């Protein structure tokens, strides 16, 4: 059952805190029961005279405007929406917040989080009564050192895409099962995947790597540490698998395949299976396909990287409580999340969103299932140092370099770079 935007009960603690905010005090109440007035409508929060500034991009502005209009009507607050190019938001937020400028709330990606926390420009966010409605992996992505710093609204991840005319709709349980089915189909290639040519593509290959128990960084308590986790026997086993399936092995992985080549091969029915994200589906107009989670190659679950988008609150906001009120009770509703989806279709991170309007509605469930068994892409600053070492090592191994020596050298060089 859908909630009506703004008609969610507000806890008495929120009312008291917001009243304190508007009067210049910060006294809290220990009550956790909703007051009678707050249960009827969130207009019990009187924010007259207060203003929230929200940064958004063009695509999502209409959805946020709808929630903001109801918020203004019910609280008396004013919402100023500032449209920005999404590519500029991170840098501008990092530059302006420390000076006391910038917005109260901004839309953003979860992999900004490490830099935002390290710079001290974001505040924690309370997901409120709707916390259980969010995808757990999306919440994990917005969590840093055990604290939730963003309210998520969408996810994205790669998944297995298969040609149903060749191999049907059943999801293969393992890599070997998939290859066997692909070979039996008579396709030119059982499987193809973007390796980004000789540059390498650790992102797309990651679910196979995690199935060997070799995560890029070690996690503790749900948060990533700066300790490289893909070394040792597990990493070497994955590297050996890359070699066995590379150009001097079975040939399922090839540095001759980049993004465009991979999509062309799959669209022309020349390979039975591929791994790609929802952004690639538009290139598959000539083939019937279905989407499933990536099968395991190493015995453990194949966990792809999950990217998340959501909302951050500035650490310098003078109306942080009001900002949380807007996010918790006006964005964290099915209607608002539906409006965000309709404005800019991405895999929803909130339950109850109707995705039937998607260009490929039958694919949504497969991508969501893949994301649910995935892990957040690390948002720690160290992740930026990983890609060049990691991608290059994978490409060299696929091309025929000694797998263990190449992988171990990559781990040594990466670790030295992170420690330096």
Q: pLDDT tens digit string along 193-206?
A: 999 999 999 999 99
Q: How far apart are CA 181 and CA 171, in angstroms?
A: 10
What is the 3 state secondary structure string of 205-240? HHHHHHCCCCCCEEEECCEEEEEECCCHHHHHHHHH
Q: How far apart are CA 307 and CA 141, in angstroms?
A: 8
Span 322-344, pLDDT tens digits = 999 999 999 999 999 999 999 98
CA–CA distances in Å: residue 333 to residues 3, 338, 354, 408: 6, 8, 13, 48
Please list the pLDDT of the chain residue by residue as tens digits (420 residues): 223 223 333 333 333 333 333 333 333 333 333 333 333 334 458 989 999 999 999 999 999 999 999 999 999 999 999 999 999 999 999 999 999 899 999 999 999 999 999 999 999 999 989 999 999 999 999 999 889 999 999 999 999 999 999 999 999 999 999 999 999 999 999 999 999 999 999 999 999 999 999 999 998 877 899 999 999 999 999 999 999 999 999 999 999 999 999 999 999 999 999 999 999 999 999 999 999 999 999 999 999 999 999 999 999 999 999 999 999 999 999 999 999 999 989 999 999 999 998 889 889 999 999 999 999 999 999 999 999 999 999 999 999 999 999 999 999 999 999 997
Q: How far apart are CA 129 and CA 332, in angstroms?
A: 9
Residue 378 · residue 342 · CB < 8 Å: no
Residue 161's DSSP bridge partners are 274, 291
pTM of the model: 0.86
Q: How many CB atoms within 10 Å of residue 251?
A: 12
- Ordered structural domains, the chain, with CATH: 12-156+307-363 (3.40.190.10), 159-303+380-419 (3.40.190.10)
Taking alpha carbons only, the member of 160, 159, 161, 164 closest to residue 288 is 164
Give the three-class secondary structure for 156.
Answer: strand
Give the three-class secondary structure for 154.
Answer: strand
């Amino acid at each position: 059952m859908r909630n009506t935007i703004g008609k969610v009960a507000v806890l008495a603690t929120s009312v008291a805190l917001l009243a304190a905010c508007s009067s210049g005090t910060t006294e809290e109440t220990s009550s956790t029961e909703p007051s009678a007035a707050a249960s009827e409508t969130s207009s019990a929060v009187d924010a007259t005279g207060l203003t929230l500034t929200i940064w958004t991009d063009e695509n999502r502005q209409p959805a946020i405007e709808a929630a903001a209009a109801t918020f203004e009507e019910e609280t008396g607050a004013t919402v100023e929406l500032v449209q920005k190019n999404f590519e500029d938001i991170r840098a501008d937020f990092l530059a302006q917040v420390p000076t006391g400028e910038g917005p109260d709330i901004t839309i953003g990606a979860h992999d900004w989080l490490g830099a935002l926390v390290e710079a001290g420009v974001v505040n924690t966010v309370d997901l409120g009564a709707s916390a259980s409605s969010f995808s757990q992996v999306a919440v994990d992505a917005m969590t840093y050192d055990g604290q939730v710093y963003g309210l998520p609204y969408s996810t994205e991840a790669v998944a297995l895409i298969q040609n149903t005319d060749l191999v049907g709709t059943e999801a293969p349980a393992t890599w070997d099962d998939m290859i066997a089915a692909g070979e039996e189909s008579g396709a030119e290639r059982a499987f193809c995947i973007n390796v980004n040519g000789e540059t390498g593509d650790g992102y797309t290959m990651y679910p196979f790597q995690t199935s060997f128990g070799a995560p890029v960084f070690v996690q503790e308590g749900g948060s990533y540490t700066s300790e490289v986790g893909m070394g040792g026997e597990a990493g070497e086993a994955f590297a050996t698998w890359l070699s066995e399936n590379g150009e001097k092995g079975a040939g399922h992985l090839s540095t001759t395949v980049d993004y465009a080549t991979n999509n062309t091969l799959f669209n022309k029915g020349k390979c039975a299976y591929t791994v790609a994200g929802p952004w690639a589906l538009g290139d598959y107009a000539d083939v019937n396909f279905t989407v499933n989670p990536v099968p395991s190659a190493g015995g453990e679950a194949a966990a792809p990287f999950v990217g998340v988008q959501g909302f951050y609150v500035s650490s310098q906001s003078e109306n942080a409580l009001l900002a949380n009120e807007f996010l918790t009770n006006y964005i964290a509703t099915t209607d608002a999340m539906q409006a965000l989806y309709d404005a800019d279709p991405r895999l929803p991170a909130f339950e109850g969103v109707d995705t039937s309007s998607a260009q490929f509605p039958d694919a949504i469930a497969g991508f969501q299932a893949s994301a649910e068994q995935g892990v957040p892409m690390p948002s720690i600053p160290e992740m930026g140092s990983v890609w060049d070492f990691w991608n290059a090592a994978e490409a060299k191994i696929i091309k025929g370099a000694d797998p263990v020596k190449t992988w171990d050298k990559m781990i040594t060089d990466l670790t030295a770079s992170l420690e330096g």
